[in-house]
Amino acid sequence: MATYEPVDVGRRIFADAVNPELTIKDVTLREGEQAAEVNFSLQQKLMITDRLVDAGVTMIQGGYPGRSKVDREFIETLKKVDCPASIEAIVQIYTKDWREQIDIAVDSGADSINLMYPASDLRLDYVQKVSRDEALRQIAECIPYSVDKGIRTRFSPTDATRAHLPFLLQTYEVAVNAGATDVGCSDTAGCMTPEGVEYLVKTIIEKFDVTVHLHCHNDFGLALANCLAGVKAGATIIDASINGLGERAGNVDMAQAVTSLQHLYKVDLGVDMQKLTGLSQIVAELSGVAVPDNYPLTGANSFSHKLDAHVYGLEKNPEVYEFIAPEAVGNTNRIPLGKYTGPYVTKKKLKEIGLKANDAQIDAIIQQIHEQSIANKRSVTDEEFADIAHSVMKAAAAE
């Protein structure tokens, strides 16, 4: 039996499994706006789009043009300025005005349409209040209406991961036979496991010759794991949003998906990773939803090092404590001063401000850093460190 380094196992498994046409689609400007308290203006949506395109994102979900005037103007504006990204519009075909919605989406200039209809019995029974047969008839009527308008059409059975599998496959069969070239696999309630996602995506691909879009929610913190499982199963397009914005606990985070695939599995999606932290910051500013300091990859402290031994190792070789460099995603290192600050970092900080201290003075400075950080429940700032150092040095000189 061959023995592999554990870190290489994932790459070997992915080597022949990844769809060569794998693409990431941004859903910040649709799903992201379904997050609590997030409501972008037209100008904000255009600003974010410019940054997405600049980062190399080639597919963007533009929202509900048949439901939102801003979404319609957004898509129309993008097409007028020849936005290089492909823009997808969404239509809810369980509503009475689904024809009008499709017409508006087509007229907006969208490159493709995603037709959504619930597939789980929970949704059919309690929300739509229709039978499975009625749902199938609606799907069979709506898909051709869109296809006949010459627009690329995707069918997305929402709550797919909780749908009765034979019925779910029936919905796909009806949609594909009616002309849909793409289908969605949506973990709408964020309740699926990676094993379940892999099984479901494989099942869809085995039965239908279509492009499979994967949409994962993060209710259990499994969105990224589920996304990677879907990629391993052969999904063609994966949805992601900046900062993981989305309904409830959100969706797959763009930076985490792109960077995990690139650095852990050697799958290049063509996104400029150095733009990711900047994207995260602008979306946080415009959405009003702050990024936690310890947020993976793009958070302010995601590359911070406090322990003396860690800082020492980092300066000898960054790879000792960082699998990837912060610059790879447009971020930077940070060395906070606090309870675990020791002599190595203290000497380094003293040198930065042109001071040299003996061992006793260094111990006194460290003691004050520890006490102040605990009292204030935060790190000691550079200005506070300078004050502490000068105070200790002055007291020593007076003795």
Which whole-number Å values give the CA distances from 209 to 172, 183, 186, in the listed order? 11, 10, 18
Do 263 and 363 fall into the same domain?
Answer: no
Whether 324 is covered by a domain: the verdict is no
Query: 398 falls in which pLDDT band (50, 70, 90)?
Result: confident
Whether 389 is covered by a domain: the verdict is yes
Do 364 and 283 fall into the same domain?
Answer: no
The least confident of 22-31, 50-59, 105-114, 350-359 is: 350-359
Residue showing tokens 């063609």? 236
Percent of the chain with pLDDT over 70: 99
> Is the pLDDT reported for residue 229 higher than 70?
yes
> Which domain range does residue 132 map to?
6-287
Per-residue pLDDT at 399: 66
CATH of the domain at 133: 3.20.20.70
Whether 45 is covered by a domain: the verdict is yes
Q: What is the Cα–Cα distance from 145 to 153, expressed in whole angstroms?
A: 10
Query: Higher confidence at residue 16 or residue 94?
Result: 94
Could you give the 3-state DSSP secondary structure of residue 27?
Answer: coil
Cα-only R_g, the chain: 26
Query: Domain ends where: 272, 287, 302?
Result: 287
Rounded average pLDDT over 382-391: 94
Do 372 and 280 fall into the same domain?
Answer: no
Do 67 and 163 fall into the same domain?
Answer: yes
Whether 302 is covered by a domain: the verdict is no
Query: Domain ends where: 253, 287, 321?
Result: 287
Cα angle for residues 256, 24, 248 (degrees, 5° grid): 60
Do 371 and 249 fall into the same domain?
Answer: no
Per-residue pLDDT at 382: 94
Residue 287 buriedness (CB in 10 A; 0-12 / 13-18 / 19+) = buried
Percent of the chain with pLDDT over 90: 94
Provide the 8-state DSSP code for 328: G
pLDDT digits (tens, 9 = 90+) for 284-342: 999 999 999 999 999 999 999 999 999 999 999 999 999 999 999 999 999 999 999 99
Give the start-end residues of each E strand in 59-136. 59-63, 86-92, 112-118
Rounded average pLDDT over 158-183: 98
The per-residue pLDDT of the chain, averaged, comes to: 96
Beta-bridge partner residues of 380:
337
CB atoms within 10 A of CB 262: 18
Q: What is the Cα–Cα distance from 62 to 104, expressed in whole angstroms?
A: 13
Whether 313 is covered by a domain: the verdict is no
Beta-bridge partner residues of 14:
none
pLDDT digits (tens, 9 = 90+) for 263-291: 999 999 999 999 999 999 999 999 999 99
Q: Are 139 and 174 in contact (CB under 8 A)?
A: yes
Whether 264 is covered by a domain: the verdict is yes
Between helix 343-352 and helix 359-376 the angle, nearest 10°, is: 100
Do 248 and 394 fall into the same domain?
Answer: no
Do 354 and 252 fall into the same domain?
Answer: no
Whether 173 is covered by a domain: the verdict is yes
> Is the pLDDT reported for residue 61 higher than 80?
yes
pLDDT digits (tens, 9 = 90+) for 178-196: 999 999 999 999 999 999 9
Query: Domain ends where: 287, 303, 323?
Result: 287
> Is the pLDDT reported for residue 396 higher than 80?
no
Do 141 and 246 fall into the same domain?
Answer: yes
Do 350 and 277 fall into the same domain?
Answer: no
Per-residue pLDDT at 397: 74
Rounded average pLDDT over 24-37: 96
N-to-C CA span, the chain: 70
> Is the pLDDT reported for residue 45 higher than 80?
yes
> Is the pLDDT reported for residue 1 higher than 70?
no
Q: Where are the alpha helices (DSSP H) in 264-325?
A: 265, 276-287, 308-316
Domains of the chain: total: 2
Whether 301 is covered by a domain: the verdict is no
Do 238 and 374 fall into the same domain?
Answer: no
